[in-house]
Structures are given as structure tokens and as C-alpha cells.
Amino acid sequence: MMNGNGKSDEPIVPRKAANKADMHSAHAAEPPEGRGSVKGKPCGHTSTRAQDRIRLQHALKRIRKAIVRDRSIQLTGLWHHVYDPGRFRPGRSEHRALDALYMGLMRKRVNWIVDADIRGFFDTIDRQWTMKFIAHRIGDKRVLRHIAKWLKAGVMEEEKLTRSEEGTPQGGSISPLLSNIYLHYVLDLRVEQWRKRTARGEVIIVRYADDFVMGFQHKEDAERFLKELRERLAKLNLKLHPKKTRLIEFGRNAARQRRARGEGKPETFNFLGFTHFCDKTRKRGRFIVLRQTMRKRMQAKLLEIKEEHRMRMNESVPATGRWLRAVAGGYYRYHAVPRNLPAMMSFYRQIGRQWAASLSRRSHKAKLDWRRMHTIIKRWIPSPHITHPYPEHRFGVTT
């Protein structure tokens, strides 16, 4: 690891070779049965792979401990993006990004939005540039060698191994980490530099994985940055999606300015499953950002539930009810943001109708009475309610 110009830190991963006793015991140990090994016969290949994985885990664990112990170690390029399972970055969930965007739109002078999407990001990441970015902060060749192997590893699907010459492995556990490192150098640092040196007005950016939204005070800044971003990404074998990348007028002054020009309501944009609108409060008419569940996301989820109903048609009501309770609870936990209750109530009614239709198909003679169906729905499917606080209360406390 490089901590300064021309100076190399001591390796966090020790270079001491394993003791002979440990090596002897490792080779003499009998591996677990299964995965191609013969019962009672040691398999050196399996035990070696397991030891390599354990050693690598210990190596990365020591890196994390060293960073926690000494904050002066310049490892932010990697540590800033190390993630825990189920998230792309520690302490930076989807709702944290949504709160940050909400606060930026409400408190900054944002009049224009760049809603950008990188086409086939995970499939077109340049591996050479990825290794250069990682080597900028890590000097231990053994860690770099293992990361290079991760990049070259293929994906096993239906007992077929497929490899690609570019991008990161689809579904690989290392892909989110490498993608965050890549965009940290390609996008994040560039935006920070451009904001200080070139921008005339205020600039905000919120990124989660490869999805990012930028806000600008002046249209000229937005157009100039979008042009430079396309040129920068082209040098790194990346492209912005031509149909999904838009420059729209959005903010507290958008409705008034568009009305003066004889245009319609401000356009909307999608980010992390929510459609963002320009709206006003009911009492005082103040500007507020309205977030509602994306229609496509809800329709896709309802279609998925409908297909599952067909598979569960002959199950008992309690069994199906427990499944629907879990599905609805997971959906509510993510989408229960302030002012999104109408969309959740629509989802609640739709899954109730689907369940009623599924129960009615069991018999061609008897029809299910809706009074009884309402009782069943209330018994098993929880009604939605808002669980997330306003971003001013949550984001303002945690930052």
C-alpha cells in the first residue's frame, strides 16, 4: 500500500511462510465428503482451495483492522466502498441515497436534473483501468493478484462455465465493490473537481452503485458537464444510455417558469424504485418533492405474485396467507416513505383481488363471498402504513 509519494508501507498481510507442522497437519487432514472427493481419501485440490479462501479472508480482514486502527492510512479508495452483504456500501443503503437526494433538492438551488444511466455498466467495465485504480491505493501484489483472479472468474450456469474478456462477473460478490471503486475515480472525483473549478452555480450528485442523479443550478453547467461526461466515459469504454439519459427542468421554480412559457407540468424522473415529482404542501403551498413507487416496479411485483398464486392455488388459506404477509411486509418496508401511502394502498388492494381470484378458481360452482374475503384479507395481509420518517428528521441526524 502506498501511503505517500515513493514510500511503501509495511505489508499488512504477513509474508511469513506457514510452519511445517501446520503444513503437515493441513495435508494430512481428511477433507469433508462430497463435491467429487472419495470417501476416506484426502483431496489436495479441495483442501488447497479452502485454505486459499481462508487465507484471503484473513488477509482482507487484517486490512480492515489496520484501517480502523490507523485512520491516517490512505485507503479511502478501497475502504470507502467495502460493502456488507445485501448492500453496496456500509451504512449507505438505498434510503440513505434517497434521503440525500431529497435534501439536496429541497435545500440547494437546483433547477435542472441530469437523470443518467450507464449502458451495460457491469458488462463493459475496463479491467485494466480497474486494476490501475485499485493499485493506486494498494501495493500488496498478493491482494492485487487475487482481485485479478476474481475479475477473470466466470459464472457457472446450468453446469456451464462462461467467461468474458471485459466487465465484472455477473452476480459475483466482488462486482459491487469493484464497480464502486471504478466509479469513485471515474465519476465521483471528477464531479468534485469540476464543481470547484468549472461550475458557475451549485451542483449536487447522488450515486448508488451505477445509478446516479445530478442537480444543477444553471442549465449551461448541466449541458457542459453532460458533454464532458460523455467524452470521459468514451475514453474508458463506457457510454450513457441515449434514451434513459435526460436533462429535465426540476425544482422549486420549475413549475412557475414552465407556466410562464406556456408549458406543462415539470417532468419527473426515477431513482431507486421511486418516481420523483414537483409538488406543493396542502396548507401553505410550499415546494416539496413527492416520491411515489414506480408504476413499472409495482406492476412487475404484482405479476410476480400472480404467477406465484397459480403455483399455490391448491394450498390452504393459512399457508398462502403467511406467504402473502411476508411479501407485503417486505414491500412495505421499502416503499413506506412519507406521502406514498396511496400507492401502497393500491398495492394492498391489488394483492387482495388476486388472492380472491385465485380462491375462486378452485371451484366452478361455488363463488367466494366478498364479506368473507375481506375477513380473510384483514386476517392475513397487513394494511400499509408509513414507517420511514421524513428525510429532514433521519438524514439531518445521521450526517
More confident residue, 157 or 291: 291
Q: What angle do CA 117, 181, 71 make, to 5 degrees?
A: 140
Q: pLDDT of 341-387, one tens digit each?
A: 999 999 999 999 999 999 888 877 667 788 899 999 999 999 999 99
pLDDT attached to residue 86: 37
Q: pLDDT of 213-239, one tens digit each?
A: 999 999 999 999 999 999 999 888 889
More confident residue, 148 or 381: 381
Does the pLDDT value for residue 279 go beyond 90?
Answer: yes
Q: How far apart are CA 237 and CA 195, in angstroms?
A: 24
Find the range with the poorest average confidence among 43-47, 216-220, 339-343, 387-391. 43-47
pLDDT attached to residue 56: 59
Grid coordinates representing 352? 387482495
Categorize the per-residue pLDDT at 192 as very low, low, confident or very high, splitting at 50, 70 and 90: very high
Does the pLDDT value for residue 33 go beyond 90?
Answer: no
Instruction: Map the chain to HEC letters.
Output: CEEECCEECCCCCCCCCCCHHHHHHHHHCCCCCECCECCCCCCHHHHHHHHHHHHHHHHHHHHHHHHHHCCCCCCHHHHCCCCCCCCCCCCCCHHHHHHHHHHHHHHCCCCEEEEEEECCHHHHCCHHHHHHHHHCCCCCHHHHHHHHHHHHCCEEECCEEECCCCCCCCCCCCHHHHHHHHHHHHHHHHHHHHHHHCCCCCEEEEEECCEEEEEECCHHHHHHHHHHHHHHHHHCCCCECCCCCEEEECCCCHHHHHHHCCCCCCCCEEECCEEEEEEECCCCCCEEEEEEECHHHHHHHHHHHHHHHHHCCCCCHHHHHHHHHHHHHHHHHHHCCCCCHHHHHHHHHHHHHHHHHHHHCCCCCCCCCHHHHHHHHHHHCCCCCCCCCCHHHHHHHHC
